Protein backbone atom coordinates (compact mmCIF):
# COMPACT_ATOMS: atom_id res chain seq x y z
CA UNK A 1 0.00 0.00 0.00
CA UNK A 2 1.42 3.38 -1.02
CA UNK A 3 2.21 6.16 1.42
CA UNK A 4 -0.33 8.52 -0.13
CA UNK A 5 -3.11 5.92 0.12
CA UNK A 6 -2.25 5.28 3.77
CA UNK A 7 -2.30 9.01 4.52
CA UNK A 8 -5.64 9.31 2.70
CA UNK A 9 -7.18 6.50 4.73
CA UNK A 10 -5.81 8.02 7.94
CA UNK A 11 -7.32 11.36 6.98
CA UNK A 12 -10.69 9.77 6.26
CA UNK A 13 -10.53 7.91 9.57
CA UNK A 14 -9.72 11.11 11.44
CA UNK A 15 -12.55 12.95 9.69
CA UNK A 16 -14.95 10.11 10.47
CA UNK A 17 -13.84 10.12 14.12
CA UNK A 18 -14.25 13.86 14.34
CA UNK A 19 -17.73 13.63 12.81
CA UNK A 20 -18.59 10.87 15.26
CA UNK A 21 -17.31 12.96 18.16
CA UNK A 22 -19.35 15.94 16.95
CA UNK A 23 -22.46 13.72 16.78
CA UNK A 24 -21.76 12.36 20.26
CA UNK A 25 -21.36 15.88 21.65
CA UNK A 26 -24.64 16.86 20.02
CA UNK A 27 -26.39 13.78 21.42
CA UNK A 28 -24.93 14.37 24.89
CA UNK A 29 -26.10 17.98 24.81
CA UNK A 30 -29.56 16.84 23.72
CA UNK A 31 -29.57 14.15 26.41
CA UNK A 32 -28.60 16.73 29.04
CA UNK A 33 -31.41 18.99 27.79
CA UNK A 34 -33.95 16.15 27.95
CA UNK A 35 -32.71 15.12 31.40
CA UNK A 36 -33.12 18.70 32.59
CA UNK A 37 -36.65 18.86 31.13
CA UNK A 38 -37.60 15.54 32.78
CA UNK A 39 -36.15 16.76 36.07
CA UNK A 40 -38.11 20.00 35.81
CA UNK A 41 -41.29 18.11 34.90
CA UNK A 42 -40.84 15.65 37.80
CA UNK A 43 -40.27 18.52 40.20
CA UNK A 44 -43.29 20.37 38.82
CA UNK A 45 -45.44 17.24 39.12
CA UNK A 46 -44.49 16.68 42.77
CA UNK A 47 -45.12 20.30 43.66
CA UNK A 48 -48.43 20.28 41.80
CA UNK A 49 -49.69 17.20 43.66
CA UNK A 50 -48.65 18.71 47.00
CA UNK A 51 -50.39 21.99 46.26
CA UNK A 52 -53.56 20.28 45.04
CA UNK A 53 -53.88 18.56 48.41
CA UNK A 54 -53.40 21.91 50.14
CA UNK A 55 -56.12 23.50 48.01
CA UNK A 56 -58.53 20.69 48.81
CA UNK A 57 -57.98 21.30 52.55
CA UNK A 58 -58.95 24.99 52.36
CA UNK A 59 -61.58 25.88 54.95
CA UNK A 60 -63.04 29.01 53.36
CA UNK A 61 -62.87 31.17 50.25
CA UNK A 62 -60.36 33.49 51.90
CA UNK A 63 -58.22 30.53 52.94
CA UNK A 64 -58.46 29.07 49.43
CA UNK A 65 -57.37 32.31 47.78
CA UNK A 66 -54.42 32.59 50.16
CA UNK A 67 -53.34 29.05 49.28
CA UNK A 68 -53.74 29.76 45.57
CA UNK A 69 -51.70 32.97 45.64
CA UNK A 70 -49.14 32.82 48.46
CA UNK A 71 -49.05 29.02 48.60
CA UNK A 72 -48.45 28.44 44.89
CA UNK A 73 -45.97 31.30 44.67
CA UNK A 74 -43.85 29.85 47.49
CA UNK A 75 -44.18 26.25 46.32
CA UNK A 76 -43.15 26.92 42.73
CA UNK A 77 -40.63 29.66 43.57
CA UNK A 78 -42.42 32.19 41.36
CA UNK A 79 -42.10 35.95 41.21
CA UNK A 80 -45.86 36.45 41.15
CA UNK A 81 -49.11 34.50 41.05
CA UNK A 82 -52.42 36.12 40.12
CA UNK A 83 -55.95 34.74 39.97
CA UNK A 84 -58.50 36.31 37.64
CA UNK A 85 -62.06 35.15 38.31
CA UNK A 86 -65.20 35.56 36.24
CA UNK A 87 -67.75 37.17 38.60
CA UNK A 88 -70.39 38.86 36.40
CA UNK A 89 -73.01 39.19 39.16
CA UNK A 90 -70.46 40.22 41.82
CA UNK A 91 -71.62 37.27 43.92
CA UNK A 92 -68.16 36.14 45.01
CA UNK A 93 -67.24 39.70 45.97
CA UNK A 94 -70.44 39.94 47.99
CA UNK A 95 -69.79 36.63 49.74
CA UNK A 96 -66.26 37.73 50.61
CA UNK A 97 -67.55 40.93 52.16
CA UNK A 98 -69.46 38.76 54.63
CA UNK A 99 -66.48 36.52 55.45
CA UNK A 100 -65.91 36.86 59.19
CA UNK A 101 -62.26 35.81 58.87
CA UNK A 102 -61.31 38.47 56.31
CA UNK A 103 -63.99 40.72 54.80
CA UNK A 104 -61.61 42.48 52.40
CA UNK A 105 -60.75 41.53 48.81
CA UNK A 106 -57.75 39.18 48.94
CA UNK A 107 -54.47 40.38 47.40
CA UNK A 108 -53.56 38.83 44.08
CA UNK A 109 -57.18 38.08 43.15
CA UNK A 110 -58.94 40.10 40.47
CA UNK A 111 -62.68 39.81 39.80
CA UNK A 112 -63.96 40.74 36.36
CA UNK A 113 -67.36 40.91 34.72
CA UNK A 114 -65.94 39.38 31.52
CA UNK A 115 -62.59 37.63 31.10
CA UNK A 116 -62.13 38.81 27.51
CA UNK A 117 -61.86 42.41 28.74
CA UNK A 118 -58.53 41.45 30.35
CA UNK A 119 -57.17 39.45 27.43
CA UNK A 120 -59.28 38.50 24.37
CA UNK A 121 -57.30 35.27 23.84
CA UNK A 122 -58.59 33.89 27.16
CA UNK A 123 -61.87 33.04 25.44
CA UNK A 124 -60.08 30.20 23.62
CA UNK A 125 -57.86 29.09 26.49
CA UNK A 126 -58.68 25.37 26.67
CA UNK A 127 -55.32 24.20 28.01
CA UNK A 128 -52.42 25.85 29.85
CA UNK A 129 -50.40 28.24 27.73
CA UNK A 130 -46.69 28.56 28.51
CA UNK A 131 -44.41 31.03 26.80
CA UNK A 132 -42.71 34.42 26.72
CA UNK A 133 -44.34 37.58 28.01
CA UNK A 134 -45.71 39.82 25.27
CA UNK A 135 -46.86 43.24 26.35
CA UNK A 136 -49.61 43.52 23.76
CA UNK A 137 -51.21 40.24 24.87
CA UNK A 138 -50.39 40.03 28.56
CA UNK A 139 -50.06 43.51 30.04
CA UNK A 140 -53.49 43.49 31.73
CA UNK A 141 -52.83 40.04 33.21
CA UNK A 142 -49.98 41.40 35.35
CA UNK A 143 -50.94 45.05 35.99
CA UNK A 144 -48.60 47.21 38.01
CA UNK A 145 -45.78 44.66 37.95
CA UNK A 146 -42.40 44.62 36.24
CA UNK A 147 -42.79 42.75 32.93
CA UNK A 148 -41.97 39.07 33.56
CA UNK A 149 -39.76 36.98 31.30
CA UNK A 150 -42.27 34.16 30.87
CA UNK A 151 -45.80 33.20 31.88
CA UNK A 152 -48.01 30.20 32.45
CA UNK A 153 -51.73 30.83 31.90
CA UNK A 154 -53.75 28.05 33.52
CA UNK A 155 -57.49 27.94 32.80
CA UNK A 156 -59.96 27.15 35.57
CA UNK A 157 -62.53 25.18 33.59
CA UNK A 158 -65.53 23.11 34.59
CA UNK A 159 -67.00 21.29 31.59
CA UNK A 160 -67.29 23.98 28.91
CA UNK A 161 -67.28 26.90 31.32
CA UNK A 162 -64.19 29.05 31.94
CA UNK A 163 -64.39 30.31 35.52
CA UNK A 164 -61.04 32.06 35.64
CA UNK A 165 -57.32 31.96 34.97
CA UNK A 166 -54.28 31.37 37.17
CA UNK A 167 -51.30 33.41 36.04
CA UNK A 168 -47.79 32.22 36.97
CA UNK A 169 -45.09 34.87 36.37
CA UNK A 170 -41.34 34.37 36.30
CA UNK A 171 -38.51 36.77 35.54
CA UNK A 172 -36.73 33.83 33.87
CA UNK A 173 -37.54 33.96 30.12
CA UNK A 174 -37.15 30.17 29.79
CA UNK A 175 -38.96 29.17 33.00
CA UNK A 176 -42.18 28.55 31.10
CA UNK A 177 -41.76 27.29 27.54
CA UNK A 178 -43.91 25.26 25.17
CA UNK A 179 -41.60 22.25 25.72
CA UNK A 180 -42.51 22.05 29.40
CA UNK A 181 -45.16 19.37 30.06
CA UNK A 182 -48.45 21.03 31.00
CA UNK A 183 -50.75 18.08 31.73
CA UNK A 184 -50.37 18.45 35.48
CA UNK A 185 -50.86 22.21 35.27
CA UNK A 186 -54.13 21.48 33.45
CA UNK A 187 -55.08 19.16 36.33
CA UNK A 188 -54.13 21.87 38.83
CA UNK A 189 -56.49 24.23 37.00
CA UNK A 190 -59.30 21.68 37.20
CA UNK A 191 -58.73 21.14 40.94
CA UNK A 192 -58.59 24.90 41.51
CA UNK A 193 -61.87 25.39 39.60
CA UNK A 194 -63.60 22.71 41.69
CA UNK A 195 -62.19 24.19 44.90
CA UNK A 196 -63.44 27.67 43.97
CA UNK A 197 -66.91 26.30 43.18
CA UNK A 198 -66.92 24.35 46.45
CA UNK A 199 -65.76 27.42 48.37
CA UNK A 200 -68.48 29.56 46.84
CA UNK A 201 -71.12 26.96 47.75
CA UNK A 202 -69.84 26.82 51.34
CA UNK A 203 -69.97 30.61 51.55
CA UNK A 204 -73.53 30.59 50.19
CA UNK A 205 -74.62 28.02 52.76
CA UNK A 206 -72.84 29.89 55.56
CA UNK A 207 -74.65 33.09 54.58
CA UNK A 208 -78.03 31.30 54.65
CA UNK A 209 -77.27 29.55 57.94
CA UNK A 210 -76.30 32.83 59.58
CA UNK A 211 -79.23 34.86 58.24
CA UNK A 212 -81.57 35.41 61.19
CA UNK A 213 -84.25 36.69 58.79
CA UNK A 214 -84.50 33.25 57.16
CA UNK A 215 -86.72 30.53 58.58
CA UNK A 216 -85.17 28.13 61.13
CA UNK A 217 -85.99 25.23 58.78
CA UNK A 218 -84.05 26.79 55.89
CA UNK A 219 -81.17 27.72 58.16
CA UNK A 220 -81.15 24.21 59.61
CA UNK A 221 -80.98 22.67 56.12
CA UNK A 222 -78.01 24.91 55.27
CA UNK A 223 -76.29 23.86 58.51
CA UNK A 224 -76.81 20.19 57.68
CA UNK A 225 -75.27 20.67 54.23
CA UNK A 226 -72.28 22.39 55.83
CA UNK A 227 -71.89 19.34 58.04
CA UNK A 228 -71.88 17.07 54.99
CA UNK A 229 -69.16 19.32 53.52
CA UNK A 230 -67.08 19.01 56.74
CA UNK A 231 -67.21 22.78 57.17
CA UNK A 232 -66.22 22.70 60.84
CA UNK A 233 -64.77 26.22 60.94
CA UNK A 234 -67.97 27.77 59.62
CA UNK A 235 -70.17 25.70 61.93
CA UNK A 236 -68.12 26.61 65.01
CA UNK A 237 -68.29 30.33 64.16
CA UNK A 238 -72.05 30.08 63.53
CA UNK A 239 -72.58 28.35 66.88
CA UNK A 240 -70.68 31.10 68.72
CA UNK A 241 -72.95 33.78 67.20
CA UNK A 242 -76.23 31.84 67.32
CA UNK A 243 -78.92 32.39 69.94
CA UNK A 244 -81.76 30.16 68.70
CA UNK A 245 -81.56 26.75 70.45
CA UNK A 246 -83.15 24.90 67.51
CA UNK A 247 -80.48 26.20 65.12
CA UNK A 248 -77.74 25.40 67.65
CA UNK A 249 -79.00 21.82 67.77
CA UNK A 250 -78.76 21.60 64.00
CA UNK A 251 -75.18 22.88 64.21
CA UNK A 252 -74.39 20.18 66.78
CA UNK A 253 -75.92 17.64 64.40
CA UNK A 254 -73.86 19.07 61.54
CA UNK A 255 -70.63 18.66 63.50
CA UNK A 256 -71.69 15.13 64.41
CA UNK A 257 -72.31 14.32 60.73
CA UNK A 258 -68.79 15.55 59.91
CA UNK A 259 -67.39 13.48 62.82
CA UNK A 260 -65.76 16.60 64.26
CA UNK A 261 -65.21 15.45 67.85
CA UNK A 262 -62.63 18.15 68.55
CA UNK A 263 -65.05 21.01 67.95
CA UNK A 264 -67.90 19.24 69.72
CA UNK A 265 -65.71 18.88 72.82
CA UNK A 266 -64.86 22.58 72.62
CA UNK A 267 -68.57 23.46 72.41
CA UNK A 268 -69.44 21.14 75.31
CA UNK A 269 -66.81 22.72 77.56
CA UNK A 270 -68.10 26.24 76.85
CA UNK A 271 -71.87 25.55 76.73
CA UNK A 272 -73.90 26.80 79.74
CA UNK A 273 -77.29 25.55 78.53
CA UNK A 274 -77.64 22.08 80.08
CA UNK A 275 -80.04 20.79 77.40
CA UNK A 276 -77.60 21.73 74.63
CA UNK A 277 -74.65 20.37 76.59
CA UNK A 278 -76.51 17.08 77.13
CA UNK A 279 -77.17 16.89 73.39
CA UNK A 280 -73.45 17.40 72.63
CA UNK A 281 -72.39 14.78 75.20
CA UNK A 282 -74.88 12.30 73.77
CA UNK A 283 -73.41 12.82 70.28
CA UNK A 284 -69.87 12.40 71.64
CA UNK A 285 -70.84 9.10 73.28
CA UNK A 286 -71.60 7.72 69.81
CA UNK A 287 -68.25 8.77 68.34
CA UNK A 288 -65.24 6.50 68.41
CA UNK A 289 -62.47 9.04 68.81
CA UNK A 290 -59.80 9.74 71.39
CA UNK A 291 -61.00 13.34 71.90
CA UNK A 292 -64.56 12.19 72.65
CA UNK A 293 -63.44 9.36 74.95
CA UNK A 294 -61.03 11.55 76.90
CA UNK A 295 -63.72 14.20 77.46
CA UNK A 296 -66.34 11.64 78.57
CA UNK A 297 -63.86 10.11 81.01
CA UNK A 298 -63.14 13.59 82.35
CA UNK A 299 -66.87 14.14 82.95
CA UNK A 300 -67.06 10.93 85.00
CA UNK A 301 -64.29 11.96 87.37
Range 282-289 average pLDDT: 92
What's the half-sphere exposure (Cβ side, CA atoms, 13 Å) at 195?
A: 25
Query: Strand 129-132 relative to strand 109-112: parallel, antiparallel, unpaired?
Result: unpaired
Query: Quick one: 88 and 183 in the same domain?
Result: yes
The CATH number of the domain where 123 resides is what?
3.30.450.40
Structural domain span for residue 266: 210-300
- Return the pLDDT at 182: 79
Q: pTM of the full predicted structure?
A: 0.75
Whole-number pLDDT of residue 276: 96
Beta strand 80-86 with 109-112 is parallel
Q: What is the mean pLDDT of the chain?
A: 84
Instruction: Judge whether 247 and 257 are in contact, CB under 8 Å.
Output: no
User: Comparing C-alpha atoms, which of 223, 239, 203 is closest to residue 98?
Assistant: 203
Q: Residue 226 pLDDT > 80, yes or no?
A: yes
Domain-located, residue 8: no
Domains in the chain, number: 2
Q: In this structure, are residues 165 and 81 in contact, taking their beta carbons and an 8 Å threshold?
A: no
pLDDT digit string, tens, across residues 5-32? 555 555 565 665 566 666 656 656 665 6
Of 141, 161, 195, which one is at a domain's C-terminal end? 195
143 and 177 within one domain: yes
Residue 27 lies in a domain: no
Stated as kind and residue range, the H or E segment containing 245 is helix 245-257
Please enumerate in sequence order all residues whose Cβ is within 8 A of that of 109, keeping only pairs 6 or more positions apart, or say none. Answer: 65, 68, 69, 82, 83, 84, 85
Residues 191 and 228 in one domain: no
- pLDDT at residue 2 in the model: 54
pLDDT for 35 beyond 80:
no
Pair (190, 75) in one structural domain: yes
Calculate what percentage of the chain has a pLDDT beyond 90: 40
Amino acid sequence: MGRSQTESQAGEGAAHLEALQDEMRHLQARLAQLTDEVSRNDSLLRKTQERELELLRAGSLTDLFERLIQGLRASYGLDEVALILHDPQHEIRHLLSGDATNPTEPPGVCFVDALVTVAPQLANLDRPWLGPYRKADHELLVPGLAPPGSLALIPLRRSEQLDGVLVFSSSDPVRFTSELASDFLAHLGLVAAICVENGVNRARLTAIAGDTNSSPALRGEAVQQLGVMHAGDELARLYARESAPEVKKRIIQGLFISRDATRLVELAKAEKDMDLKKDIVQKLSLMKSKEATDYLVELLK
